[in-house]
Amino acid sequence: MKTVTVTLRIRRTSKWQDYELHLPADAYVLDALQAAASQDQSLLFRHACHHASCGSCGIRINGRESLACITPLAKFGKSKPVIRLEPLRNFPLIGDLLVDFQPFMNQLALIDLPYARSVMDLPAEKHPIERLQPVAAEGDLPEISPEFNRLENCIECGLCVSACPIVGSDYNYAGPALLAAAGRVAAEPRGRSVPEILKQVDHDHGLWRCHGAFECSRVCPAGVDPAHEIMSMRSRLLQMLPTPRAEAGIK
């Protein structure tokens, strides 16, 4: 197995610390981080799923927001790269690469996007897909949707929040993750009021505070495209405005 030597340069609260490590060539930054942690058990960082579904290993790698678990070491060139690791911005720092996600989760709870969606998006959409007939249902189970369902794209990793320059300067800005969640509720309301949810984000520190840096969509590892959600909701809100004639009561 081919191995590589990499140096992780990790931001430890107020200084940088280097770790030289030897790893298989096809390993990921998270593997390197775990190797560093077995040398130095005081290193603080989060990880869980190792395949970009839990969203817990978000950090900045060479200044760019990324998930450590799916960033391959091969990306950094062949000859002994030095890889800079820093925690996400715009989250309260606990230590090293570990940030506090509770405030972010509290924010998302305000939008309360149900975590399972009912949209199918298989590549072979031309085939008519038969609706799912669940194989069995126990008497007192909640009604199983006859449509296929799946977990939302957004893994709540916070990369977009860290990358957004407005979140950094406006502490009241709703932020791309929250706005994208609102966009998803507006797209699939399931009985909730769309005007209500739009009203929740239609204010100076909500939808209109975005200044189009588009960094959120660029760093998102899950295909959420918050920028698109934000601009679509703006479009939608503008279409909902009454025309001057309607306002004047002219038919």
Partner 1 sequence: MGPKANAIVIGAGSTGSALAHDLSLRGLRVTVLDRAGVAGGSTGHNQAQLHSGARYAVNDPESARECIHENWILRRILPEVLELNDGLFVAVDEQGMVYRRAFLEACSACGIPTRELSMAQAWSMEPLLNPQALAAIQIPDGVFDPYRLCLSFLATASQHGAGVRTFCEVTGLDLANRKVTFHSRITNQEETLQADIVINAAGPWAAGLAALGGLHVNLEPSAGAMATIDRRVCNMVINKLAPADDGDIIVPQRNTSILGTTSWTVEDLEDLPIPSGHIEMIFKVAEQLIPSVRQAGLRGVMAAVRPLLITKGAGGRTATRGFTCFNHSAEGAPGFFSVVGGKTTTARLMAEKVADQVCAFLGIEAPCLTREFPLLSYRKLAQA
Partner 2 sequence: MKGRSQWFEFRLDSGGMLGFMLHRLTGIGLVVYLYLHLALLNQLRQGPAAWDAFVQTMRSPWVLLADSVLLFGILMHGLNGLRLTLLGFGKFLRWQQELFWSSFILAVVLTAWGMLAMH
Where on the chain is the footprint of partner 1 (CB under 8 A)? Answer: 1, 24, 26, 28, 34-35, 38, 41-44, 46-56, 69-70, 94-95, 98, 100-102, 104-106, 108-109, 112, 114-116, 120-124, 127-130, 132-136, 138, 140-142, 144-145, 148-153, 155, 222-223
Among partner 2, partner 1, none, what binds residue 64 when CB lies within 5 to 8 Å by partner kind? partner 2
Under the binding rule (CB under 8 A), the answer on residue 89 touching partner 2 is yes
Q: Which of 63, 123, 191, 223 binds partner 2 (CB under 8 A)?
A: 63
User: Based on CB atoms, which residue is closest to partner 1, 118 or 235?
Assistant: 118
Query: Hey, what are 89's tokens?
Result: 């911005």
Q: Residue 79 is which amino acid?
A: S
Q: How crowded is the C-beta side of 136, counted as CA atoms within 13 Å?
A: 2
Under the binding rule (CB under 8 A), the answer on residue 153 touching partner 2 is no
Q: Are 186 and 198 in contact (CB under 8 A)?
A: yes
Number of H helices, E strands in the chain: 9, 9
Under the binding rule (CB under 8 A), the answer on residue 109 touching partner 2 is no
User: Based on CB atoms, which residue is closest to partner 2, 4 or 219?
Assistant: 219
φ, ψ of residue 189 in degrees (nearest 5): -70, -30
User: Based on CB atoms, which residue is closest to partner 1, 96 or 209?
Assistant: 96
Instruction: Report the b/e string of 118-149 with b at 16+ CB within 10 A.
Output: eeeeeeeeeeeeeeeeeeeeeeeeeeeeeeee
- Looking at the DSSP bridge assignments, the partners of residue 117 are 150
Least distance from partner 1 to the Cβ atom of residue 141, Å: 6
User: Based on CB atoms, which residue is closest to partner 1, 11 or 46?
Assistant: 46
Chain centroid offset of residue 119 CA:
19
Least distance from partner 2 to the Cβ atom of residue 159, Å: 13
Find, among 167, 151, 148, the residue nearest to 226 by Cα.
167
Mark 221-250 with x for binding to partner 2 (rule: CB under 8 A) and - for no binding: ------xx--xx-xx--x------------
Q: Round to whole Å and give the CA distance between 139 and 153.
A: 31
Least distance from partner 2 to the Cβ atom of residue 197, Å: 18
Site of tokens 């002994």? 80
Binding site for partner 2 (CB under 8 A): 63-64, 89-90, 165, 168-169, 211-215, 217-218, 227-228, 231-232, 234-235, 238
